[in-house]
Amino acid sequence: MESSIEAPRRGRPGHDQNSMLEVIVQVFTDHGYDASSLGMIASRLGLSKSAVYHHFASKAEMLEIALERALGELERVFDDAEAQGGDAVARIRYIVREAVLVACAQQPYLILLLRLHGNSEVELRALERRRVLTARLRETFRAARAEGSLRDDLDPGLAARFTFGLVNSLVEWYRPDGPTPPQALAQAVLSYVRSGLRVNETTDFR
């Protein structure tokens, strides 16, 4: 899965919007969005404030574009799953696998999203989009339960929160140069989500 937003390059080489955004998101994550000043951002980029303003209208715009990297990709996963049709259980499989791949590919942007405090309009809109995604997963779990392919003793809302909680937590420790590549990680998560830790039906893990 590739990043969907490829802003046209402008400005001098090495200072296109994309590569600047990586640095900016690091500042936001290191210090929190509220505490990150334009001065800190310009300094980390080695640019003047006015040069930064050549690329971004405001700190809020930086945040909005960065969050789109995470939210836009996750929304696309759900859209694709729904466009495919088929059983709800197949959609769940697709969503879980692709969400893990998004977490790996868009890691810094997802970390930013998960640490928002909700102190601004941009943040509140992003948090609302997160809530909508959780609701979509809950409805998919509900549909799977209705078709008989999901256990009926676990609330679909809890199942959705547990599953997103697990997938989101990957960004806390995943390393692109680590021992587990994204596809293998997606397979391990899917396996854990599908059948848990127990060996089989007869183990005493209850």
Look at residue 93 and give its three-state secondary structure. helix
Instruction: Give the number of other Cβ atoms within 10 Å of residue 96's Cβ.
Output: 22
Give the count of residues interacting with a second copy (CB under 8 A): 56
CB of 150 to a second copy, least distance (A): 6
The 3-state secondary structure of 125-191 reads: HHHHHHHHHHHHHHHHHHHHHHCCCCCCCCCHHHHHHHHHHHHHHHHHCCCCCCCCCHHHHHHHHHH
- Which lies closer to a second copy via its Cβ, residue 60 or residue 166? 166
DSSP state of 73: H
The closest of 188, 199, 196, 33 to 116, measured between CA atoms, is: 33
Rule CB under 8 A: say whether 158 interacts with a second copy.
yes
Q: Give min distance, CB of 108 to a second copy, in A.
A: 14
Residues 9, 53 contacting (CB under 8 angstroms) = no
Task: Provide, rounded to whole angstroms, the least separation between the CB of residue 59 and a second copy.
Answer: 15
* Interface pick for a second copy out of 54, 93, 129, 142 (rule CB under 8 A): 93
Encoded tokens for 54: 């050549």
Residue choice 55, 164, 182, 186 for contact with a second copy (CB under 8 A) = 164
The reply to whether 89 sits near a second copy by the rule CB under 8 A is yes
Binding mask 106-135 for a second copy (x = CB under 8 A): --------xx-x-x----------------
- CA dist., res. 65 & res. 14, Å (int): 18
Please identify which residue in 10, 31, 49, 125 interacts with a second copy, judged by CB under 8 A: 31
Residues lying near a second copy in the complex (CB under 8 A): 29-32, 34-35, 87, 89, 92-93, 114-115, 117, 119, 141, 144, 148-155, 158-159, 161-166, 168-170, 172-173, 180, 185, 188-189, 191-201, 203-206
